[in-house]
Amino acid sequence: MIESNSPKDTHPALNQPRRRAALQWMFTLATGTTMLPLAGCGSAGDDGTEDTLPEPQVLTSANGKLEMELNAQYTTQTLDIAQVQDPAYPGKATPTQTHLRSFNGQYAAPTLIVNQGDTLRILLNNRLPDNTRQTGVEYLNFQNSTNLHFHGLHVDPREIRPGVFGDYVVDTAEGGVLPGKSRQHELAIPADHQNGIYWYHPHLHGSSNGQVSSGMFGAIIIRDLSDRFITSPDIRERVIFVHKLNLNEAGRTDSFKDSVNAPTSAFLLNGAYQPTIVMRPGEVQNWHLINSSSFYPFNPVLDDHTLWAYAKDGNVYDRLFKPMNAGNASQFTDANWPGNALFPGNRHSIVVKASDTPGTYYLRAVKAPSSEVDEEIVARIVVEGSPVDTPMPSASDLPRYKDHEAITDQELAAHGGKQRNLVLAVLNKDDDRILKPIPEGEDWFVPPEEGFMANTVFAAGAVGAKLVPFQSSLTVTQTVALEAVEEWTIHSLNGYPHPFHIHVNDSYIVRVNGLPITPFWADTIPVPPNGNVTFRMRFADFKGKFVWHCHALDHEDMGMMQLVDVVA
């Protein structure tokens, strides 16, 4: 077991409620696209051990365009499910028949590979059954309505022309794409968009947690054709979703209550429990880790190896690697926040060089603030077969992008220099910081007779103002001038590290708990428990309305979200 520097002493964790979610990493057919494997795919070892990490179908753009249909529907599949337990291999898993919402009848949706300057067109078809009344909280009764968010992409958030939408999620809970309806998305990827790993998932207020928890998500990889960082065909590229599943006794996650109250599974990787990854001695692989869990962090450690991270949330580091290993896995001080952990919505891109010593190693999820347990074994890494001498990519070859240069004090001042202090809070409905009275016709909390999250308001707002949930904030927006540069500080009033995420624009993090840090770019950043983070943003290129919210999606569904309106 990896010892911790007692992160709970610095950042006390909440008592953990039971949490959620499911996936399976097998993909579906789509038309009008080129279907190619990721770079370097093929057998890793030659001593007979089977590599059991499920692989995606990959859809790749052709002639500057990728076009596909994405069907929201139920599917039945048997998955190996284990409850969280003491770290052991093999763990105790039970084959479980599941009946869950999915994209295209498989888990998860295809990985989409597009180049800078390409156009991505997705027709979202809602083939889920009609909504049913599940609770007295009205806005939670639309679990089969949906929409689609493109997490981390710097693209237009508006309805760009009649009936054609960009990264549009400004829907009311009773709106969105209703069962039996469709929505056409069209994303023009900027020619200078940074390369890297992104993902897509539903984002309808009130139903996002249950749908993402069911496995409705897929990856997006943006290629820079001039990138020289990983060019060897011998380096295998792997997209790995890390996820937890919450199933009721029938193997389903139908309601919002199911997605937060059903027992929480151990981590799955691409839908598999403790899969085997086979590598040859000396082999190099390129892993994109995506935390699609709704609540828990994933803090990876690979026995007797160092994972060399080169990008966070699709943002490449400035010509350097960040080493990730047992020695630094528990560093959560302000200067190191958030350590190596992936919080919900985060992604790490890493290069892994297998040991020259054949043997069995274990990939572990070790302790981080808000972890459910101290450690889980999530995969077995078998190093076997004929040695190879694949050279490591050089950090000096990592690309630089003009839009991700440092935001200096001078640039901030020259573009308005506005500062905002905002709050994320889980509070009792009677707390004086909550606006009273509740506006007529709005549901802000679950009544006590329904027995889950009762009398609790999940709210956001400005420091010094009364706090409200999103149910009331469709008309309470942060208005920002197009091309402004601003500095925001997000405060948490709770012991849980709320993962802050804003759509469309990345964040340049400059301070944690008021103290300067080595700045970095991200699109999802956990707020230290009972603390704050400060970041700067360029509101460039796109006007329109989009949202910022907690990426613990049950918190977002309960109201921890606000609108931003960028105006010319």
Report the C-alpha gap between 513 and 336 in whole angstroms.
Answer: 12
Sign of CA pseudo-dihedral 143, 148, 149, 150: positive
Region of 211 please: left (phi>0), alpha (psi -120 to 50) or beta.
alpha
456-462 vs 477-481, strand pairing mode: unpaired
Higher pLDDT, 30 or 454: 454
Residues 441 and 515 in one domain: yes
Report the C-alpha gap between 391 and 89 in whole angstroms.
Answer: 31
Residues 189 and 247 in one domain: no
Q: Is residue 231 part of a domain?
A: no
Residues 166 and 17 in one domain: yes
Task: Using pLDDT thresholds of 50, 70 and 90, give the confidence band for residue 18.
Answer: very low
Query: What are 85-128's pLDDT values in tens digits?
Result: 889 999 999 999 999 999 998 887 899 999 999 999 999 999 99
Q: Which residues contact 166 (CB under 8 A, 6 or more apart)?
A: 155, 156, 157, 158, 159, 160, 185, 186, 187
Residues 50 and 84 in one domain: yes
Query: What are 506-564's pLDDT values in tens digits?
Result: 999 999 999 999 999 999 999 999 999 999 999 999 999 999 999 999 999 999 999 99
DSSP 8-state assignment for residue 210: H
- pLDDT of 12 > 70? The answer is no
Residues 148 and 69 in one domain: yes
Peptide bond into 162 cis (omega under 30): no
Residue 65 identity: K
Residues 72 and 207 in one domain: yes
- pLDDT value at residue 46: 64
- pLDDT value at residue 39: 59
DSSP 3-state of 562: strand
The two tokens of residue 85 are: 């337990």
- Domain endpoint, select from 195, 223, 251: 223
Domain total in the chain: 3
Of 289, 286, 171, 193, nearest to 231 by C-alpha is 286
- pLDDT of 11 > 90? The answer is no
Residue 192 identity: D
Range of the domain at 26: 8-223
- Domain endpoint, select from 223, 253, 270: 223
Output Rg (C-alpha) for the chain, integer angstroms: 22
DSSP 3-state of 448: helix
Task: Using pLDDT thresholds of 50, 70 and 90, give the confidence band for residue 476.
Answer: low
